[in-house]
Amino acid sequence: MSCSRPQPLIRASLKSLFTYRHPYHSSHQRIRALHTSRLRIRYSPHHVQLRSASTIAAAAASTPPAKDARSLLTRLKNLLLGTSIGLTVILGYYYVTDTRASVHEWLVIPCLRYFYPDAEDAHEFGNRALKVLYSFGLHPRERGLEDAKGDLAIEVFGHLLRNPIGTSAGIDKHCDVPDALLAAGPAVIEIGGVTPQPQEGNPKPRVWRIPSQKALINRYGLNSNGADHVAMRLRQRLREYAYHMGWGIDEEAEQRILDGEAGVPPGSLQQGALMAVQIAKNKFTADADIEMVKKDYVYCVDALARYADVVVVNVSSPNTPGLRGLQKGEPLTDILTAVVAAARKVKRKTPPKVMVKVSPDEDSESDVKGICDAVWDSGVDGVVVGNTTKRRPDPIPNGYLPTLEQRLLLEQGGYSGPQTFARTVALVKRYRKMLDNGAYPNNNNDSEHSPPRFTSIQSPLETPAATHPPITDADINASVARDKMHLKPPTPEAEA
The residues assigned a catalytic role are 317
- Whether residue 75 contacts residue 55, with contact meaning beta carbons closer than 8 Å, is answered with no
β-strands 274-279, 188-194 pairing: parallel
Rounded to the nearest 10 degrees, the angle between the axes of helix 329-344 and helix 290-304 is: 30
Query: Of the candidates 32, 30, 38, which has an alpha carbon nearest to the alpha carbon of residue 14?
Result: 38
From its phi and psi, is residue 248 left (phi > 0), alpha (psi between -120 and 50) or beta? left
Give the torsion sign (CA, 194, 183, 162, 98). negative
Phi-psi region of 246 (alpha: psi -120 to 50; beta: other; left: phi over 0): left
Q: Which residues pair with 416 in a beta bridge?
A: 216
β 188-194/154-156 pair status: unpaired
Quickly count: other Cβ atoms within 10 Å of residue 214's Cβ.
Answer: 16
d(CA 350, CA 344): 9
Single-letter residue type at 231: A
Helix (H) or strand (E) segment spanning residue 120 = helix 119-135
